[in-house]
Structure 1
Amino acid sequence: MNRKSLTLTAALATAGAVTAVLAVLPSASAAPNTTASAEPAAASTKLGTASYLPLSVAKKVSDIAMQKGIEKGYPVSVTVVDRDGVVINQQRADTATGATVQVSFEKAYAAAGFQTPTADIQNFAKTSPGFTYIPGFSILPGGVPIKVGGKIVGGIGVSGAPTGELDADFANAALKTLN
């Protein structure tokens, strides 16, 4: 195909696209709407709203989960993330090991990301082992999504107790204070 044919083909394709667009637009002969509106055109478009987890609430649930661990004699780390998995608050008890910090984050991140407790994800992984290989997620018990008004606004992860079930108990005890 020569250059003249390519140019002609491109011009015809463009003309066809313009014709298709004009066919769905309102007729140019229709009278324009000249009535004034109290609202700008952009304001008439309804935008969604998003719930979020305030720092004050993240601190509160972190403090309570940390205190529950200390009361039972377990130095834990607690991480609270927003619905996107970004850390809002993170704490480590004085004698908690360094590994607990990262694990608490990974539990919170998984709980928020999958919108389900990590203990449930761990059970699901028994029949779908691919869940054990998702980078950045820990499916050990102790991660719980944070819901407000039925919407996921974040996740909390606790790590450092001898079992994940105890970690989950501390997280759940903290979340009960939100109700």
Structure 2
Amino acid sequence: MQHRAKKFSARTKAIAATAGVAAVGAGAFGAFSATADTTSAAPAAAPVAVRSEAVTTSTHLTVEAATDAARAALDAAEKEGQRVSVAVVDRDGNTLVTLRGDGAGPQSYESAVKKAFTAVSWNAPTSELAKRLENAPNLKDIPGTLFLGGGAPVAHDDAPVAGVGVAGAPSGDLDEKFARAGVAALGDGS
């Protein structure tokens, strides 16, 4: 029995040759990479001490205090039979705590966060801020804000440190009443 060698096309030969060269090249590169000299790499930069005048310190509400405020606001609403959501945000507008009361509407959660953010951003109750829309209607276009009653700022040494937002009661006045109850829970009693 005689075997005949199959003839490969020029295209098949070219593909096989390219694959062979690629395999050899990859092996050589891998060997080179594995033995690369890492001693010449630049050392990591040491931390630089910054002078005191170049930094600022800010005061933030603790998570425990934020939880106390949210619980007080929700309790005040529940005592009056209102189904609300409560949010507490920090000085930077980051959400610290949210509580969605039993039966609160689906829109109330996001509205509470936006009211809290709005209150801390301007260090004013959102009911007062809503009145400013008459003279500056574009305020409502600022992302993340909601100019409806229900947000109350939390201040320490006259500087805003947080905001409490409540949403879901039949009126902004009620929402804000409950938000103020949350802020009052943070007072020192004096």
TM-score norm. by structure 2 comes to: 0.69
Match of 1:102 in 2: 110
Decide which structure has the larger Cα Rg and report it. 2
Matched to 1:158, the amino acid is V
Alignment match of 2:52 (pick from 45, 49, 53): 45
Q: Superposed, which structure 2 residues align to 1:16-165 within 5 Å?
A: 42=49, 45-46=52-53, 47-165=55-173
**1:116 Cα deviation (Å)?**
1.4
Paired letter, 2:119: A
With normalisation by structure 1, the TM-score equals 0.73
Range with bigger deviation, 42-51 or 158-167: 42-51
Return closer, same or farther for 1:128/1:73 CA change in 2, 3 Å cut-off.
same
How big is the shift at 1:45? Answer: 3.0
SS of the equivalent of 1:109 reads helix
SS of residue matched to 1:119: helix
Deviation of the 1:43 alpha carbon: 7.6
5+ long unaligned stretches in structure 1: 1-41
How many residue pairs get aligned? The number is 139
Shift in Å, 1:149: 2.3
Q: Which runs of 5+ in 2 are unaligned?
A: 1-48
% same residue: 33
Q: Distance in 2 between matches of 1:52 and 1:134?
A: 23
